[in-house]
Structure 1
Amino acid sequence: MKRLILMRHAKSDWSLGQPDSARPLNARGQRSAEAMGDWLREKGYLPDQILCSSAQRTRETLDLLRITAPTSYQKGLYLATPDKMRKALRKAKGDTVLMLGHNPGIGLFAHSIVATPPDHPRFDDYPTCATLVVDFPITAWKALDAQGETVDFAVGRDFSD
């Protein structure tokens, strides 16, 4: 079995007038990322590999999770389509992979990989810091071609204001 933890970056700051890829998190986003890291640890959802967009807000989200695993920062995950995310995941080696990215692609990808969506009112719009945990009945990521089983889903606002 392989497990994917699919996370959208936490809430970013639009007020600084920076290029999109350089936007940092705002205060709410920082709180949400820290809370999501606590939730992941409490539930035992700990990755052994991390695939992260190279954008500032995804890198900062990852830092605030306080989770350590071999990490690959990938420019190709910045605003990636579901197909690009699937291709990146098929190259993964870990048993439990955390993938950090952006909407709209990450939300579309989340919908495409689960047989049954989680019973959560925010799954459809996949808001900032949304995190899906899904298991796949495969032994290698390169075999990823079917939908997986939803294990859990949460958003940062479930734990912080």
Structure 2
Amino acid sequence: MTSHRLVLLRHAKAEPAGSLPDHERPLALPGRRQASAAGAALAAADLVPSRVLCSSALRTRQTWELARTALAAAGAPDPVLTVTDALYDATTGDLAELVRAVPEDDGTVLVVGHEPTMSHAAVTLAGPGSDEQVLARVRTGVPTSSWSVLELDGPWDATAPGALRLVRLGLPD
């Protein structure tokens, strides 16, 4: 029996780097559509988070807000939201540390972050029982607004390299 699900969502398509600092780059119009579609896809896949850990960057916060709106339209309750600078330049270890601190009663946790952290974390945390095709695809990196699903049989504080199963990759339309 799976006791926990970790969903790693890469932010949607952002405006190109330019005059704004990277942290303040907003979503591009296609990214706004991607983020809404990601929320609807998560709802359709019954991957409604009870807790969201979101990078403090503008594009990740906007991705979450649009995904949240789509989840809410599907009847999902609002999750507990933590926006943190720790996910902006996070390593896989940083991400795992944040997940290990999640309360046990949170069954599904959504992390909204950046590449290459989202794909590296999925590959590093994936262990026995992972879907080999999904693992091979995630190893090459993931596109904007894609989401990886990992399952953990045990407490959140058991989140460690090789301890979860990578079971699904959701790609934007």
TM-score by length of 2: 0.84
Letter in 1 for 2:118: I
Q: Does 1:98 align with 2:98?
A: no
The match for 2:13 among 11, 14, 21 is 11
Q: Does 1:135 align with 2:147?
A: no
Whether the 8 Å CA contact 2:57–2:88 is kept in 1: the answer is: yes
Q: CA deviation at 1:151?
A: 2.9
Residue deviations 1:6-52 (CA, integer Å, cap 9, x gap): 11111100165210000000011111111111111111110000000
C-alpha RMSD of the superposition: 1.6
Give the secondary-structure state (helix, strand or coil) at the position aligned to 1:119: helix
Distance in 1 separating the partners of 2:141 and 2:131:
12
The residue correspondences of 1:1-161 to structure 2 (distance < 5 A) are 1-14=3-16, 17-65=19-67, 66=69, 67=71, 68-93=78-103, 94-115=106-127, 116-117=130-131, 119-120=133-134, 122-123=137-138, 124-138=140-154, 140-145=155-160, 146-156=162-172, 159=173
Q: CA deviation at 1:119?
A: 2.6
Residue deviations 1:69-105 (CA, integer Å, cap 9, x gap): 1100011110211110011111111221001111112
Distance in 2 separating the partners of 1:76 and 1:111:
20
Deviation above 4 Å: which 4+ runs of structure 1? none
Q: CA deviation at 1:4?
A: 0.3
Q: Which runs of 5+ in 2 are unaligned?
A: 72-77
Distance in 1 separating the partners of 2:137 and 2:166:
15
Distance in 2 separating the partners of 1:137 and 1:106:
21
Letter in 2 for 1:153: L
Change (3 A) 1:52 1:118: farther
TM-score by length of 1: 0.89
Letter in 1 for 2:109: V
